[in-house]
Structure 1
Amino acid sequence: MHRRLPSLRGLQAFEAFARLGSMVAAAAELCVTHGAVSRQIRALEQQVGAALVTGPRHQLALTPAGARLAASLGGAFDQIAAGLPGAQAEGEFVVSAPSTFAMKWLIPRLPRFVDAHPGVAIRIVEEDSGEPDFGGRGLHAAIRLHQGPAPAGLAVSAFLPQAFGVVVAPALLARVGGEGLLRSPRLHSRTYPDGWRLWAQAAQVELPPPSADRAFEHNSYMLEAAAAGLGAAVTAWAYVEAEIAQGRLVAPWGFVPLARRFALVRPAIARHPDAERFADWLRAEGRAAAPAPRRDVHESGS
């Protein structure tokens, strides 16, 4: 049987307004403008031939017809959501993350999430770059560096600022001093090959030729090499916070803040039931994390 239905976009806009009680809140949830929600509801009213909202612009309320439609839409949308792939997902919650971030920042904090949510079986998998494949790899969410609005079809929750800086073993810094540090062996990671260039640009420093260039396959290898005194490296604060607290590494010029932030990315509609509580936990951990220290390289005598 052919169903004669009005615009689904209009129904979605109206249901969000009716549930949230505000055009502004509905617009925020749907990632559209306030005007777009208003236009969609007006178009819906024309399609159904009845007024659905009434009152002055800032005190809109549902009409009796609008209240009846809202009551039916809530249940209908709940049924649709329940039937989506992943909505009734059981078993483990799979999150991909850059390997060094997982090892240095996420996993040391993960026991707090497990203690707070003992019923959640979470699995962290390594994925350093690229768009997360939520359709083909069994992923439910991914941690990525992100800047700007959420891509179409995805929900993005930024939880941790990003900053990077030069780190070095204390013994090497004591031996070469600030003036000699930029000429000491320079360590690189193949996963972040432009680190030194970007740091120099952000810190407004002209890099002299190093005494040697040493490349490593992963950030974690590079950081161990730096702690062993093989040279200086540029890396993220989130990756070395623990090593600096322990005294294995020092950051003589602090860290330069970047526009991108660590964020949890997941499908906007077919979400795993544990995705939102994990996003909330990450935001809380990000607020509690120590901020990256800052220091002007030009004030340090280098």
Structure 2
Amino acid sequence: MSGRTPPPLNALRTFEVFGRHRSMTRAAAELCVTHGAVSRQIAALQASLGVTLVTGPRHALTLTEAGAQLAERLTPAFVAMTDAVEGVRQGAPREIEISCLGTFALKWLIPRLPGFLEAHPEVRVRLSESYAAVDYRRDRFDGAIRIVEPDQAHARTEATRFLGQYQGPVGAPALMASLPTLDAVARAPRLRSATFRRAWPAWSDLAGVVLPPATTEREFAHNHSLVEAAISGLGVAIAPWAFVAPDVIAGRLAAPFGFVERPSWFAFLRPEGRRDAAVDAFRDWLVAEGARSPPPPIPSTGPGD
């Protein structure tokens, strides 16, 4: 073993958090300390190592090449330490944080979650809402649920597909009854979400519908607002089946033209190579629940019917 004194663990931990966020402010928020405390810990680490780890003005520090290499290696080391500690907490509840699309959590995940908690009373699930791309070089949650496109990659991530992705036009029953064809649907007031503004053209390409210029468009910040607007009769939305299935089944929404399959899917994303029995159980439960989910109505009519 080397006779060198190792650098302070607290300084290494502080630098690891800064390295993930690349921000003094966000690092201070995660560690519940001041901006100055983060700066002092990083300065102490540089002095201990005799290596410059950060450069630039204090309000916009960036990692040097040596700093980037150290930060990249520290994150899995601290993850391994966390796993080791959790592994010896015999009988203690294990809390896992799952990052999830907000509307998917409301409409699909939360209604099914009691089944998981009943089967796994030793696991607590904390949900956080996010639509951002997952990057486990930065993110510290235990798993994430996202819609994954065929050409989309997530750094250092194991992805498990558990649910297909289908889209179709939905609206209030009275409104949809007044739209006898897909051509009529295409001319109705269009609702869209800011999180996926291409929903209408993406659906039209798959369904073979030629979209005329919109006469009325209404945009909402999130999909759950979009769904509620459709229920209220404000127009027609192109929505994922997973987001609207409970409302279609309950009769709050109508989908007489069915849904078409998109070349994307819902996937559970977890850190690559990280073993965790609670996360394994949650992943396996998602796969089983996905297999049990009711299939969407298939398209029942052609564009001009």
Give the TM-score normalised by the residue count of structure 2: 0.67
Which consecutive residues of structure 1, in runs of 5 or more, have no partner in the other structure?
Answer: 3-79
For residues 263-296 of structure 1, give each alpha carbon's deviation from its aligned partner in whole angstroms, at most 9, with x where no partner exists: 1111122344311110100000011111122115
| 1:245 positional shift | 0.3
Matching residue of 2:84: 88
Equivalent residue in structure 2 for 1:287, among 268, 286, 291: 291
User: What aligned pairs does 1:79-158 form with structure 2 within 5 A after superposition?
Assistant: 84-88=80-84, 90=86, 91-132=94-135, 134=136, 136-147=138-149, 151=154, 153-158=156-161
* CA distance 1:105–1:264, shift in 2 (3 Å): same
Which consecutive residues of structure 2, in runs of 5 or more, have no partner in the other structure?
Answer: 3-75, 87-93
* CA distance 1:293–1:271, shift in 2 (3 Å): same
| 1:153 positional shift | 2.8
For residues 56-100 of structure 1, give each alpha carbon's deviation from its aligned partner in whole angstroms, at most 9, with x where no partner exists: xxxxxxxxxxxxxxxxxxxxxxxx999824423644100001100
Matching residue of 1:183: 187
Give the TM-score normalised by the residue count of structure 1: 0.68
| 1:211 positional shift | 3.1
RMSD of aligned residue pairs (Cα, Å): 2.5
User: What aligned pairs does 1:59-74 form with structure 2 within 5 A after superposition?
Assistant: none
Paired with 2:79 and 2:177, the residues of 1 have a C-alpha distance of 62
Equivalent pair of 1:168/1:251 in contact (CA under 8 Å): yes
| 1:116 positional shift | 0.3
User: What aligned pairs does 1:185-200 form with structure 2 within 5 A after superposition?
Assistant: 185-200=189-204
Paired with 2:79 and 2:197, the residues of 1 have a C-alpha distance of 44
| 1:129 positional shift | 2.7
**215-224 or 151-160: bigger deviation:** 151-160
Equivalent residue in structure 1 for 2:226, among 222, 225, 241: 222
**119-128 or 263-272: bigger deviation:** 263-272
SS of the aligned residue for 1:229 comes to: coil
SS of the aligned residue for 2:219 comes to: strand
For residues 115-141 of structure 1, give each alpha carbon's deviation from its aligned partner in whole angstroms, at most 9, with x where no partner exists: 000110110100113224x45553011
Paired with 1:170 and 1:83, the residues of 2 have a C-alpha distance of 50
Equivalent pair of 1:87/1:273 in contact (CA under 8 Å): no
Give the letter aligned to residue 94 of structure 1. Answer: E
SS of the aligned residue for 1:225 comes to: helix
- Aligned residues with identical type, % of pairs: 39
Give the letter aligned to residue 192 of structure 1. Answer: F
Paired with 2:81 and 2:296, the residues of 1 have a C-alpha distance of 40
